[in-house]
Structure 1
Amino acid sequence: MTCPDGSYAPTQEKYVFNDETLAGTHTTIHSAVCGGQPGMTKKPFSLQFVKPLDVPVERFPQYCDGFAHCW
């Protein structure tokens, strides 16, 4: 979150949605930061199917060697 003085404070973000209806809730929680009280907000959202992914779909787009070096 952005404080009135322009600095930033940490938040906890949580997204929960139903995989059948694609409706969900976005929850944001923050402690007593920016000179204010702790708070929590919940906002509904919905996901929409736009189109299938282009073929081919790379399930693992990074190449990793046997030493866990990925690029």
Structure 2
Amino acid sequence: MITISRVMAAAVLAFGTALGAAGPAQADQQVLEGVFTYTQQDGLTGDWDIHPSCVPTVGDLREPLYLPVACRLHVTSFPEVKSGDAVLINGVWAYDTTIADGVICSDGSPLQVVQTIEFDTVTMTGTRTDTHAPGCNGELPATMIKTPFTLAFKGPLNNPVDRYPLICEPGGLRRCF
């Protein structure tokens, strides 16, 4: 009987530890708007201008729902980090850009690089991932470089943004125009 009690206690303890070790539930992402300072772990810094563009989600047609899932963040960046349109994917904002001449080989030919940016607006942290296939006549293997970064609010945009530019009908099919 004591052995069964000990096994049950160990199982409860293990289950409780697993739950306690899990991080907090993913909070809803924010729709950022403004000028943000981008700072990589290696010291690279620059400014991001983020302009949101959203459409109301109609849900069950009673009321428009203003959710981040129906938004796109237009990120204007600095030369080392490419600009793009971030969308909400798997709980984080993300976008990809292709850089045709991301690496210049020793013979002068270009090698394409794909830059993926993912960021969390709750923690204001993210990851920049640069990848390329093997190239340069066998000189370079396939590579993936992940660089963490942080974002910090610097100020508002110079021009105000209408986050929800569409006007939706008050009833019925909730057509937006």
CA deviation vs aligned residue, 1:49-68 (integer Å, no higher than 9, x gap): 11111244477xxxxxxxxx
May I ask how many residue pairs the two structures share in their alignment? Answer: 59
Residues 1-71 of structure 1 aligned to structure 2 (within 5 Å): 1-34=103-136, 35-57=139-161
Normalized per residue, the structure richer in strand is 2
Letter matched to residue 30 of structure 1: H
TM-score between the two structures when normalised by the length of structure 2 = 0.30
Residue identity (%): 37
Is the alpha carbon distance of 1:58 and 1:32 closer, same or farther for their aligned partners in structure 2, counting shifts above 3 Å?
A: same
CA deviation vs aligned residue, 1:21-50 (integer Å, no higher than 9, x gap): 210000111101122111111000111211
Normalized per residue, the structure richer in helix is 2
In structure 2, distance between residues paired with 1:47 and 1:37: 31
* Structure 1 unaligned spans of 5+: 60-71
TM-score between the two structures when normalised by the length of structure 1 = 0.67
Secondary structure in structure 1 of the residue aligned to 2:111 = coil
| 1:10 Cα offset (Å) | 0.2
Structure label with greater radius of gyration: 2
In structure 2, distance between residues paired with 1:13 and 1:27: 6
Letter matched to residue 157 of structure 2: L
